[in-house]
């Protein structure tokens, strides 16, 4: 029985298309697409990408039958902003949806989801069942014909179809808990250089290899069902993860292990004209960013590709020129505030840290549920860790990082000060700035200020950052660059920045003063109307010996339920033993249940007692 299709009539002029018979639609020659996604694994967990200890026979066979992309990179190293990027075809950093689980609105009257265009083109669109689009103002399920479990009979009767089947068997949570009695031998692992060789670390690797094997079995089950239903000859199969991971210092981080993902595409003989190489089994050298995928899927299906999408079509008759770089970003991850950007070529990875004064690895409740994280943390605290192993629990210090991904896949040798790589550094540095300007980097001011500024102007963040009078990207980048130079000769300029009418410029002026331990800047910032700036000013005063006014400011911000409360709680942790002074105020807080402020309060109580 045929199911009625429901299509959205939109301002983009999408036509409503009436459902027609499966056989008639098949005659159009349009492919079905089966997108087999999984969660949280980088290429290092997949056999066909070179890990001899991986047990992924179904994915490996798919690579033999299809085309294996060797340079596919996520734009965000965590699920919610990654999936926000997928569903809109707009980088999450470009519309303000990059902070983890934030659910900020976008202008839905102008920005549709890519399944809307598929459905308008006569495709039956199903999603089983992960959404996590991190966007407010529209239900995640609204864009799908079937947002629930896949119904294979419906698919056969509703061709052409676009069907996602998401496996959560490889999710980070599957690496948590007990690590005993794994099927995979803990001796048969490829240990990262930054992980200490400890029993619970090895066992955690083995536990995740087990999860990957189960996930691979689910991929095999879907492929077998596709074959049994007689759909293989008409269906393009795509497999990839939603970002990298999953052992500590991979997921959430802009290192290769958090970004470099498997991508395999199998296309039947009847769609040979779409092949990216003469023979299946070929390893494809092209750079692919996750933001490229929605445009490419729409192009392959002959659907409208809206002009606002930011990716590059990488497959099919409308293939566009290959991009030189992948652009990635990191903002707040749950209760932990961070801010960094990255670009990578096929060989080099460049990272810019906008918060060099905080550690890479901060205590995060979800991450600490993993035995490997606990063991690594304890090893560092015991003083037994090597410099590389201990490094990531300390303040970064580095504003910039450069890694040779071919020769240093663990990204532990920072080449940024090596004169042999000066030209590479400059090319990637310029490439990053171009991406930030081109795509309106919305994270150049604190998250709370970003939200506040958009609300005060009755705009979505997407629209606010595109108004140069409200959000001047080049000016903010210049201000950040000056602050991060950590050069005392810049103090007069930083002081002038603190007088700027733009709170974003003032914020970077204060960060510059903080990095230079300038007490004068601290007292100047303490008078600022921005809660975020006052918080940084208070920390500056505490660091420079004027502790009483600094502590008083932070205490007031917490007691007044400031919009910068999460920043203040993070600062209390970052300042180390000085944070003990504020613990009575922290313990007295009653934040909203299950809020990130509550998590951060609990983290501090656990740390300080």
- Residue extents of the structural domains in the chain: 22-327, 440-608
* Cα dihedral: 573, 578, 580, 582 (round 10): -80
Confirm if 261 and 42 have CB atoms less than 8 A apart. Answer: yes
CA distance 600 to 609: 14
State which residues of the chain have pLDDT below 70: 1-28
Q: What is the model's pLDDT at position 175? A: 98
What is the pTM for the complete model shown? 0.94
pLDDT at 29: 82
CA distances in angstroms from 3 to 6, 13, 22, listed in the order given: 10, 24, 11
CATH match of 440-608 with 1.25.10: yes
CATH of region 22-327? 3.40.720.10
**Predicted local confidence at residue 426, as pLDDT:** 98
pLDDT score recorded for residue 1: 31
Quick one: which of 279, 290, 291, 288 has its CA closest to 315? 288
Which phi-psi region, left, alpha or beta, contains residue 198 (left: φ > 0; alpha: ψ -120 to 50)?
Answer: beta
Do residues 289 and 329 touch, judged by C-beta distance below 8 A? no
CA pair distance 340, 86, nearest whole angstrom: 20
Angle at 186 between CA 182 and CA 188, to 5 degrees: 120
Task: Quote the DSSP letter at residue 19.
Answer: -
Two domains, one topology: 22-327 and 440-608: no
Predicted pLDDT of residue 67: 98
For residues 492 and 518, give the distance between their C-alpha atoms in angstroms, rounded to a whole number.
Answer: 11
């Amino acid at each position: 029985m045929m199911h009625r299709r429901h299509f959205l009539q939109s301002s983009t002029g999408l036509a409503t298309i009436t459902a027609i018979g499966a056989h008639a639609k098949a005659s159009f020659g349009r492919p079905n697409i089966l997108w087999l996604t999984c969660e949280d694994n980088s290429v290092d967990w997949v056999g066909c990408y070179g890990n001899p200890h991986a047990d992924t026979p179904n994915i490996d066979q798919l690579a033999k039958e299809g085309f294996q992309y060797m340079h596919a990179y996520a734009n965000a190293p965590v699920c919610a902003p990654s999936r926000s990027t997928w569903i809109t075809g707009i980088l999450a950093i470009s519309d303000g949806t990059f902070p983890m689980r934030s659910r900020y609105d976008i202008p839905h009257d102008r920005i549709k989801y890519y399944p809307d265009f598929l459905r308008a083109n006569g495709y039956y669109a199903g999603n089983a069942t992960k959404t996590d689009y991190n966007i407010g103002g529209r239900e995640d399920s609204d864009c799908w014909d079937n947002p629930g479990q896949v119904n294979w009979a419906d698919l056969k009767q509703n061709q052409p179809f676009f069907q996602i089947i998401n496996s959560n068997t490889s999710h980070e949570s599957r690496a948590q808990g007990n690590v005993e009695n794994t099927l995979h031998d803990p001796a048969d692992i490829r240990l990262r250089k930054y992980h200490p060789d400890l029993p619970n670390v090895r066992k955690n690797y083995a536990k995740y290899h087990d999860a990957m094997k189960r996930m691979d079995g689910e991929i095999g089950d879907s492929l077998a069902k596709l074959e049994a239903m007689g759909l293989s000859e008409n269906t393009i199969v795509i497999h990839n993860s939603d970002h990298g991971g999953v052992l500590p210092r991979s997921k959430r981080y802009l290192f290769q292990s958090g970004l470099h993902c498997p991508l395999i595409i199998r296309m039947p003989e009847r769609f040979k004209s779409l092949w990216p190489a003469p023979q299946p089994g070929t390893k494809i050298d092209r750079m692919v960013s996750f933001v490229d995928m929605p445009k490419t899927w729409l192009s392959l299906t002959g659907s409208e590709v809206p002009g606002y999408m930011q990716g590059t079509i990488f497959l099919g008759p409308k293939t566009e020129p290959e991009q030189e770089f992948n652009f990635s970003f990191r903002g707040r991850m749950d209760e932990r505030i961070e801010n960094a950007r990255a670009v990578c070529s096929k060989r080099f990875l460049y990272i810019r840290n906008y918060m060099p004064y905080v550690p890479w690895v901060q205590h995060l409740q979800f991450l600490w549920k993993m035995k490997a994280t606990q063991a690594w943390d304890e090893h560092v605290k015991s003083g037994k860790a090597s410099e590389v192993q201990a490094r990531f629990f300390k303040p970064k210090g580095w504003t910039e990082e450069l890694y040779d991904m071919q020769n240093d896949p663990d990204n532990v040798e920072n080449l940024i000060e090596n004169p042999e790589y000066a030209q590479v550094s400059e090319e990637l540095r310029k490439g990053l700035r171009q991406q930030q300007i081109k795509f309106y980097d919305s994270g150049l001011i604190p998250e709370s200020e970003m939200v506040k500024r958009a609300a005060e102007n009755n705009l979505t963040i997407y629209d606010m950052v595109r108004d140069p009078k409200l959000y001047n990207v080049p000016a903010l980048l210049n201000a950040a660059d000056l602050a991060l130079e950590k050069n005392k000769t810049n103090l007069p300029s930083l002081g002038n920045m603190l007088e700027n009418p733009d709170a974003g410029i003032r914020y970077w002026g204060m960060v510059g003063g903080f990095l230079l331990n300038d007490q004068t800047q601290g007292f100047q910032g303490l008078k600022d109307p921005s809660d975020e700036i006052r918080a940084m000013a208070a920390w500056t005063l505490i660091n420079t010996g004027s502790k009483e006014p600094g502590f008083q400011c932070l205490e007031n911000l917490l007691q007044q339920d400031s919009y910068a409360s999460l920043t203040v709680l993070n600062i209390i942790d970052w300042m180390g033993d000085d944070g003990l002074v504020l613990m009575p105020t922290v313990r007295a807080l009653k934040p909203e249940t299950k809020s990130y402020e509550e998590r951060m309060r609990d983290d501090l109580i656990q740390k300080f007692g």
